[in-house]
Amino acid sequence: MLEIAQFLAVLSSTLFAGAAIYINIAEYPARMGCETKIAATVWAPSYKRATFFQGGLAVLSFVTGFASWLLGAGIAWLFAALLIGLVVPFTFIIIMPTNHKLLAPGRDTNSSETRALLVKWGNLHAVRSALSFAASVLYVYLLLTA
């Protein structure tokens, strides 16, 4: 049971980190290379598609990392689980207000305010990438040194 929990924790964390980092190094810069109206228009469906995929991975990694700790894997598994788990409240508390502003009906998608919100979103999303990458590195290290 422990090995399954550890496998799922590592798999879901690394998938999350890979997707998050891809967004920051490929998708987001490409989007921001467009005019603001296009960037904002493309951001909305991309955000909606990624929400459930990434949210599910973060929760799965947290739960299975926590379960690994409970099953005796060691305190470092709890720490890694908390790192990936922080992505969820960070998203709801810190990023979600920006998301709501970007998705607000009637938003002028060509405005400088919209551009500034997209820039802010990219910077906030980078925090999610960093947290998930740190969790993934720790999880993999723990597997390799076990």
pLDDT tens per residue across span 59-95: 999 999 999 999 999 999 999 999 999 999 999 999 9
Quickly state the pLDDT bin for 4 (edges 50, 70, 90). Answer: very high
Main-chain dihedrals φ then ψ at residue 145, nearest 5 degrees: -105, 5
For every residue of 88-102, DSSP letters joined together read: HHHIIIIIHHHHHHH
Average pLDDT of span 117-134: 98
Q: How confident is the model at residue 54 (pLDDT cuts 50, 70, 90)?
A: very high
Q: For residue 133, what pLDDT is reported?
A: 98
* Percent with pLDDT over 90 in the chain: 95
pLDDT for residue 20 is more than 90? yes
* pLDDT category of residue 127 using cuts at 50, 70 and 90: very high
How does the average pLDDT of the chain come out, rounded?
96
What are the sequence ranges of the domains in the chain? Answer: 2-144
Tokens for 53, please give them: 């995929």
Which two three-digit tokens encode residue 143?
């597997």
Return the beta strands (E) in the chain as ranges: none
Q: Which pLDDT band, with edges at 50, 70 and 90, does 146 fall under? A: confident
| Predicted pLDDT of residue 52 | 86
